[in-house]
Structure 1
């Protein structure tokens, strides 16, 4: 069913193009909005946010959301597994994936009740202007941290790729192997043109290519497990295919099923950060062709399942290649002279570079919702915000020597806020009591969901502060 914009800000079916399934979706959507959306309160917001017909296909939406989920955190999952063991890591990964899908369900249900598809506008409906400001600030902080982690990978890995391609005789002082210069060049020549596109749906093709690069990364990690000798094993144990037993006398090459190290407490923040895609969910929903809650939830479920499989396989085969000696960033565990891994490094660089524009869109939308809520689209404003955001992220990457702890704080604050706290609170506040009383099971589950986020945040922040006080160093992965 194609949607047609009406003067009151709602969508109605175009005559002659309705199927039976579309008819049920339309009746459900209209019933929600007609019953719970006061016409004089939210008409303006609805018209401003959905002032065009969504044209992005189901498949392209999956590419965009999968690309938003997948991030630099995938490089730290093998290290996380080495600190928890295979079984405990699998349980935590599954738990986080299920909670992330449930969180998106709460967001979509809240958005469907009031006819709003903007995270910040949900905050406005739930708590007024303070709620809108808090939601926009959390989205901005989280996504700036994610963008910084992507550009840090470019800063660290791109010089190695260039040296590998041109030869090892290059002088270390050459400008074209200086990471700070390279991130500026990449930002201006690649990221900025993509970030200037008006609609997020246009990035579906680049998102698909980015995911293809990460699939190549995964295949290479699996292949390397079977051709790489255990770091401290003797030569006659190279081709062990089932390394669940001791390979060396000192147990260095033993795969732990369950273990706990002091660094294990960083595993949950890493996993939470790795599954955050919530700022992108509603913009993707807005640009979806034939948008319904069920259709968008299916997109979210498929995307989360695909990333769950990629995350799990990367962690398992990366860990079973290097065991306890796996690096905090998986690529650093491989040789810099290996031709295949040189290609893998380049593929990962392409993937994270193409992900930056997808992450930038929600930040710009949050800024527009805060500073220019009544202004129509304008190319100058659209462009200037993108330039300023990229300039700020470049400054962070260039002048902050080590933002590992900053990522830890972001993963312990913004990630639980976006996954647990805000969706649970929005659902409780927005869904009217006439439809679901406060003591109903859905409302109680939403409250418990938000409470879980607060507990997670307090525990994670306490652990990070304890690490700072005791002076211990741990590795925290980015998104």
Structure 2
């Protein structure tokens, strides 16, 4: 789940033109780029760790299965949206379940976006100040460059980034003002993926690659396997970007085509990163693979490793304001539904902006491991946005367009989502308590 375009959660939010078709239609290729960018985000960092838990073969099957289900759920959203009068995800839920449905979507978007922002800061902290996993200590870029100092600590480094980098970026009142930083962030993500793949292939040729397991070993319990499912679900969740991108297309079928191409492309990228990351680091791969790059040698030495880590860290810094824009808008509309526009109220705008930055900063300091966030968010709000809500819309069928096949698929999707999430949440709670 990556560069999420700003989305207000209310059913009547001014997200799109009043007509369902924009005057200037977007191309399929442009939509593929936008959808792919929405999918690929911080979730890619945990794909290698998920591959380690599952094994290469189950990881591949799970990636394919989740991508396929995501395609079906998006098709449900598009078909029922064009059958009614809604132009947003919240509006679609409001048509089926009233104001309660709209509020549920809004809450899920808030929780998901806030969780992602916290994860972003955790990853930035890992890159700059390192992390410790058991007895394994991973140095950050600052420690490698300057040594161990108080100003290289996670609290100080993140505070510096929040105040001098993120705060100026989140002060923009319009999304269009962030278009240049968004373009740069996409380029940096491509740099990260490209260099990582080349390093893994080079290690394989030199015989330095690790030997990945194809299937789960005896140490992995069946319940542990379910904790990996939310990570993959989170990595394929872009459903609150479906409406903004889809309504720029000339025909609904164009968006369907773009989604299919994007899902195939992203599934291939995820599997490649999972395998290459596992080849590089084996059983030592961490939930945030960026941390591992301080323990690997390359033809260019530490410079290439630092480029890999910093490229993605800067990518995340530039995506941060986009998600913050969405989070801030949803929270403001949720708490102050009858107030004037947030951008026109300086006091409310600055207060909410500072509050959200403070919450994200404190949470990133308190929770050093991103695996827990992907498990929690993926087991609750993300699975609701991606599978539970679309399935519920089909089963509710307020427009009378559901076929028997639709109901069977939706019911199956709903049961699988609820059962998997319940097991994952229960396992996480049990592991945390024990």
Alignment of 1:427-442 (within 5 A): 427-433=394-400, 435-436=401-402, 440-442=404-406
Please say which structure displays the higher CA radius of gyration.
1
Distance 1:451 1:321 in 2: 37
**What are the superposed Cα offsets for residues 2-58 of structure 1, whole Å, 9 maximum, x if unpaired?**
xxxxxxxxxxxxxxxxxxxxxxxxxxxxxxxxxxxxxxxxxx966844347576844
Aligned to 2:188: 213
Aligned to 2:215: 258
Judging changes above 3 Å, is the alpha-carbon distance between structure 1 residues 77 and 373 closer, same or farther for their aligned structure 2 residues? same
RMSD: 3.1
Aligned to 1:363: 327
1:343 and 2:320 aligned: no
TM-superposed CA distance for 1:420, in Å, is 0.9
Distance 2:13 2:363 in 1: 36
Distance 1:271 1:67 in 2: 16
Aligned to 1:161: 141
Judging changes above 3 Å, is the alpha-carbon distance between structure 1 residues 314 and 401 closer, same or farther for their aligned structure 2 residues? closer
Equivalent of 1:50 in 12, 16, 20: 16
Aligned to 1:66: 36
Judging changes above 3 Å, is the alpha-carbon distance between structure 1 residues 148 and 378 closer, same or farther for their aligned structure 2 residues? closer
Equivalent of 1:283 in 235, 244, 261: 244
Matched-pair contact (CA < 8 Å) for 2:234–2:374: no
TM-superposed CA distance for 1:126, in Å, is 1.6
Judging changes above 3 Å, is the alpha-carbon distance between structure 1 residues 267 and 45 closer, same or farther for their aligned structure 2 residues? closer
TM-superposed CA distance for 1:305, in Å, is 2.7
Judging changes above 3 Å, is the alpha-carbon distance between structure 1 residues 48 and 346 closer, same or farther for their aligned structure 2 residues? closer
Matched residue count: 399
TM-superposed CA distance for 1:94, in Å, is 0.7
Long gaps (5+) in structure 2: 1-9, 130-139, 296-300
Structure 1 SS opposite 2:207: coil
Equivalent of 1:172 in 149, 153, 162: 149
Aligned to 1:329: 288
Q: Which protein has greater RCO, CA pairs closer than 8 Å, 6+ apart?
A: 2
Between 369-378 and 460-469, report the one with greater CA deviation.
369-378
Aligned to 1:310: 269
Matched-pair contact (CA < 8 Å) for 1:93–1:271: yes
Aligned to 1:448: 412
Structure 2 SS opposite 1:267: helix
Matched-pair contact (CA < 8 Å) for 2:96–2:398: no
Aligned to 1:81: 51
Distance 1:148 1:326 in 2: 21
Long gaps (5+) in structure 1: 1-43, 230-237, 244-252, 472-479
Distance 1:208 1:48 in 2: 24
Aligned to 1:14: none
Structure 2 SS opposite 1:432: coil
Distance 1:422 1:332 in 2: 35
Matched-pair contact (CA < 8 Å) for 1:63–1:211: no
Alignment of 1:59-138 (within 5 A): 61-138=31-108
**What are the superposed Cα offsets for residues 300-330 of structure 1, whole Å, 9 maximum, x if unpaired?**
3333233222211111111122323333322
Matched-pair contact (CA < 8 Å) for 1:61–1:204: no
**4+ long deviations beyond 6 Å:** none
Equivalent of 2:161 in 162, 186, 209: 186
Distance 2:312 2:86 in 1: 35
**What are the superposed Cα offsets for residues 98-155 of structure 1, whole Å, 9 maximum, x if unpaired?**
1112211112222212232222222222211221221111111111111110111112
Distance 1:240 1:115 in 2: 59
